[in-house]
Chains A and B, each alone.
Chain A
Amino acid sequence: MYGNAYIDPNETPEILQGEDPVLLAEFEARIQAGEKIEPQDWMPREYRKQLIRMIEQHAHSEIIGALPEGTWITRAPGFRRKLALMAKVQDEVGHAQLLYSAAETLGKSREAMINDLITGKSKYSNVFNYPAITWADSAIIAWLIDAGAIVNQLANSKGSYGPYCRALERICYEESFHLKYGHDNVVHLATGTPKQRQMVQEALTRWWPPIMHFFGPSDKISVHSEILMRWKVKMASNDDMRQQYLDMYVPKIWDLDLVLPDPNLKKNKETGKWEFTEPDWEEFKRVINGNGPCNAERLAVRRMAEEKGRWVRRAILGDNAKYTVPLA
């Protein structure tokens, strides 16, 4: 659940009730023709609602995602890595800004989104509720979590909502450095001393379950999910994205003789699909509902940042300020 549409299995297909059939047909024809929807266009209520939820969660994930990696800025091994890590963390916060503004074009203010984040009402990617215990954890995050985000973001950048696609294009362009930087750090440790190898192996073992959770549980096939696919809000199923990810990255991990903590993980030659032990979805639910190792810390840090900066923002807010919605 990094940016992929969350589909509530309890929501019924009555979502189209009351929509103007002519406008709906025009809207769907535009998407069918590969054209983008812009903020000023007519759109179904459900389209707006799902996009706000999805883009907002994605924005929160970027801003919270900066925290586990930020843990190691002060103690990064070497000045170049410190500069690179600072740049990466700044990029992620920038991604949050880009995504918040895309969501704002749909009618939810940035203030409202931040309020929903700090009160725990909105979700963000579950992986960031886990700690970066060592420097090697930050290397695994930069390589393998960012890799997952890129799979997701590349798929979503082909979606139908113009402002989200434009934000994602810029984001994907910046992400390529994150991936290279993370890979470089992991390779450095994996090809280093026995101690360094052990460090990166332990970090990988810790992060594998959250990585397997990353794309979310299998989607239930429903009318709802079919509509969101047709509207190009949801671009691929969670399972398809997980398969694509495993295809791209498991060989690169094994290439370094690192061990993944799942004896059942293998590619089935006949089906071409990866097989693995079903991730623990109870653990996933427990953590996403607020009971992970770092949920409380992540939100407390965000609250502190909002609160400590508040008087400054008030002091510089001009008298003539008027709320505006970004144009595009």
Chain B
Amino acid sequence: MIESLDPRITRANIEADSAIDPLTPLDQFQTFEVFHQKKRGQQHVHVGIVHAPNPEMALLYAKEQYSRRGQTSNLWVVPTSCVTATEYFDDDIFSTTEEKIYRDPGTYKVIDRIKAYKERKAQTQS
């Protein structure tokens, strides 16, 4: 029997060499991805996962795990199995975005044209 400095452990009457059957698959449940919103108006941001048997308990664990400091206004949990993601090895599908300069407001330069137009107009009027 374990005599501990912690009175709660002594009271539990634990055998020092107790053996238990190993944990079986799913003993620790499935996983849920957790999304955290700091303040109203902000985006929910992925912060990690919890193991839980159902969404309600996942929310409970998510609160314990991910709202320990600072501000929280809202949490989402989504079963990991419900998430579909792109593949990292396919990440070149995003690489052409930068080439599409016609989507970039900075590539539209009208000031020069307006200036030239005004100069021409001034000349014809004088």
Look across to chain B and name the residue whose beta carbon is closest to the beta carbon of A310: B27
Q: Which of B54, B64, B68 contacts A316 (CB 8 A)?
A: B54
Mark interface residues in A313-328 (1 if CB within 8 Å of B CB, else 0).
1101110011111111
Within 8 A of B (CB), among A96-151: 97-98, 101, 104, 109-111, 114-115, 118-119, 131-133
Which residue of B14, B53, B88, B89 contacts A321 across the interface (Cβ within 8 Å)?
A: B53
Inter-subunit contact A301/B9 (CB<8 Å): yes
Interface presence of A270 (CB below 8 A): no
Smallest Cβ-Cβ distance to A300: which chain B residue:
B14
Which residues of B line the A interface, CB within 8 A? 2, 4-9, 12, 14-20, 22-31, 33, 46-51, 53-54, 57, 64-65, 68-69, 79-81, 83, 85, 87-89
Tell me whether B33 and A327 are in contact (CB under 8 A): yes
CB pairs A–B below 8 angstroms (13 shown): A90-B68, A101-B48, A110-B51, A114-B28, A173-B69, A174-B68, A297-B2, A297-B9, A303-B20, A304-B18, A313-B29, A321-B30, A323-B30
Cβ-defined contact, B65 with A94, below 8 A: yes
How near does chain A come to B76, taking the closest CB pair, in angstroms? 14
Helix, strand, loop or mixed for chain A's interface? helix
Structural contact, A324 and B31, CB atoms closer than 8 A: yes
Distance of A97 from chain B, by nearest CB (Å): 6
For the complex, give the distance between the alpha carbons of A90 and B80 in Å: 25
User: In the complex, given contacts A67-B6, A316-B57, A318-B53, what are 12 additional A-B residue pairs having Cβ atoms less than 8 angstroms apart?
Assistant: A41-B89, A101-B49, A114-B28, A119-B22, A297-B4, A313-B27, A316-B53, A317-B26, A317-B29, A323-B30, A324-B30, A328-B46
* B18 x A111 contact (CB < 8 A): no
Please determine whether A111 and B28 come into contact, CB atoms closer than 8 angstroms.
Answer: yes
In this assembly, does A40 line the interface, its C-beta being within 8 Å of a C-beta of chain B? yes
Q: Known: A74-B8, A98-B65. Contact between A327 and B27, CB under 8 A?
A: no
Is the CB–CB distance between B28 and A301 below 8 Å? no
Are A97 and B30 also in contact (CB < 8 A) when A71-B4, A111-B25, A318-B54 are? Answer: no
Q: Known contacts A296-B16, A306-B20, A316-B54: does B2 contact A321 (CB below 8 Å)?
A: no
Q: With an 8 A cutoff between CB atoms, is A91 at the interface?
A: yes
Which residues in A have their C-beta under 8 angstroms from that of B24? 111
Report the Cα distance A174→B16, complex, angstroms. Answer: 33
Q: Which residues of B contact A307 (CB under 8 A)?
A: 18, 20
Q: Which residues on the B side are within 8 Å of A132 (C-beta)?
A: 5
Q: Let me know if A166 is at the binding interface, CB within 8 A.
A: yes
A118 vs B85: C-alpha distance in the bound complex, in angstroms?
Answer: 35
Q: How far is the CA of A87 from the CA of B22 in the complex (A)?
A: 30
Least distance between B104 CB and chain A CB atoms (Å):
25
Q: A38 interface residue, CB < 8 Å from B?
A: yes
Could you say which residues of chain B place their CB within 8 Å of the CB of A74? 6-8
> A70 interface residue, CB < 8 Å from B?
yes
- Residues of B within 8 Å of A301, CB to CB, are 2, 9, 12, 14
Q: A167 interface residue, CB < 8 Å from B? A: yes
Report the nearest A residue to B88, measured CB to CB.
Answer: A40
The complex places the Cα of A104 from the Cα of B29 at a distance, in Å, of: 13
Closest chain B CB from A70 CB (angstroms): 6
Tell me the complex Cα distance, A94–B68, Å: 10
Alpha-carbon gap, A133 to B20, bound state (A): 29
Task: Indicate which residue in B15, B27, B31, B89 contacts A326 across the interface (CB closer than 8 Å).
Answer: B31
Q: Could you tell me if B23 and A131 are in contact, using CB atoms closer than 8 angstroms?
A: no
Q: Which 10 A-B pairs have the closest CB atoms?
A: A71-B6, A324-B80, A111-B23, A326-B49, A110-B28, A316-B53, A115-B22, A307-B20, A296-B16, A324-B31
